[in-house]
Amino acid sequence: MKRHHEHHIIHTSEWEQSRIMQWLDKRTGLIHLKREALYEPIPGGARWAYIFGSGLLYILFSQIVTGVFLAMYYVASADHAHTTIEYITKQVTAGSFIRSLHSYGSSAMVVTLVLHMAQTYFFGSYKGRREILWLSGLILFAMIIGMAFTGYLLPWDQKAFFATAVGTNIAGEVPLIGDWLKSLMRGGTEMGTLTLSRFFVAHVFLIPACIFGFVGAHVFLFRKAGSAGPIDEDPIDPKKPTEQFYPKQVIMDIVFATILIGTLGLLSYFSPVELGPKASPADTQFLPRPEWYYLPIFQWLKYWSGQSAVIGIVIIPGIIAALLVALPFIDRRPERRPWKRPIASFSFAIILCGLIFLGWQSGHEDSTDPSVAKQLAKQEQETEKFMKATFEPETMGPPLLIAAPLSPDAAKGKKLFADNSCDGCHGDNGQGTENGPKLIGVSLKFDHDEMLKVLRNPTKKMRDGNMDPVELGDDDMNLLMAYLNSLK
Partner 1 sequence: MIEERTDIEMLETKPEQTVAIRTDDHDGHRDPSRRSFLRWFLGIGSVSVAGVLSVPLIRFALDPLMRTTTQTDWSDLGPASDFAEVNVPQKRTISITQMDGWRKVVMEKSIYVVKGNDGVLSVFTATCPHLGCSVKWVDTNNQFKCPCHNGAFSPEGKLISGPPPRDLDTLESRLVDGHLQIRYQSFRQLVKTKEVLA
Say whether residue 473 binds partner 1 (CB under 8 A). Answer: no
Residue from 107, 420, 478, 485 touching partner 1 (CB under 8 A): that is 420
**Binding pattern for the stretch 237-276 against partner 1, x by CB under 8 A and - elsewhere:** ---xxxxx--xx-xx--x---x--x---x-----------
DSSP code of 249? Answer: I
- The SS3 call for residue 398 is coil
User: Sign of dihedral through CA atoms 478, 484, 485, 486?
Assistant: positive
Distance CA 452, CA 422 (A): 15
Side chain identity at residue 139, one-letter code: I
Minimum gap (Å) between residue 265 Cβ and partner 1:
8
Stretch that binds partner 1, among 78-86, 107-115, 208-216, 405-413 (CB under 8 A): 78-86
Segment holding 354, helix H or strand E? helix 342-368
Q: Taking CB under 8 A as the rule, does residue 381 contact partner 1?
A: no
Q: Residue from 21, 34, 64, 83 that binds partner 1 (CB under 8 A)?
A: 83
Interaction between residue 193 and partner 1 (CB under 8 A) = no
DSSP one-letter string for 62-98: HHHHHHHHHTTT---STTTHHHHHHHHHHTSTTHHHH
CB within 8 Å of 274: residues ≥ 6 apart: 383, 384, 387
Q: Cα separation of 418 and 403, whole Å?
A: 19
Q: Judged by CB under 8 A, which of 306, 342, 370, 398 binds partner 1?
A: 398
The dihedrals phi and psi of 41, each to the nearest 5 degrees, come to: -80, 135
Q: Is 130 helix (H, G, I), strand (E, B) or coil?
A: coil
468 binds partner 1 (CB under 8 A): yes
Residue 102 Cβ vs partner 1, minimum distance, rounded to whole Å: 11
Contact between 93 and partner 1 by CB under 8 A: the answer reads yes
Shortest distance, position 186 Cβ to partner 1, whole Å: 26
Question: Which of 28, 271, 381, 421 is in the footprint of partner 1 by CB under 8 A?
Answer: 421
Q: Do 312 and 304 touch, CB atoms closer than 8 A?
A: yes
Residue number with CB closer to partner 1 (135 or 484): 484
- Residues in contact with 118: Cβ distance below 8 Å, sequence separation at least 6, in sequence order: 348, 352
Q: Is 187 exposed, middle or buried (CB count within 10 Å of its CB: 0-12, 13-18, 19+)?
A: middle
Site for partner 1 in 98-127 (CB under 8 A): 98
- The rounded Cα 468 to chain-centroid distance in angstroms is 49
- Convert residues 10-49 into a mask of x (bound to partner 1 by CB under 8 A) and - (unbound): xx-x---------------------x---x-x--xxxx--
Number of residues lying near partner 1 (CB under 8 A): 62
The binder of partner 1 chosen from 33, 94, 259, 311 (CB under 8 A): 94
Q: CA 141, CA 211: separation in Å to the nearest integer?
A: 10
Among 435, 441, 447, 450, binds partner 1 (CB under 8 A): 435
Given the rule CB under 8 A, which residues bind partner 1? 3, 7-8, 10-11, 13, 35, 39, 41, 44-47, 65-66, 69, 72-73, 80, 83-84, 86-87, 91-95, 97-98, 240-244, 247-248, 250-251, 254, 258, 261, 265, 391, 393-398, 418-425, 428, 435, 466, 468
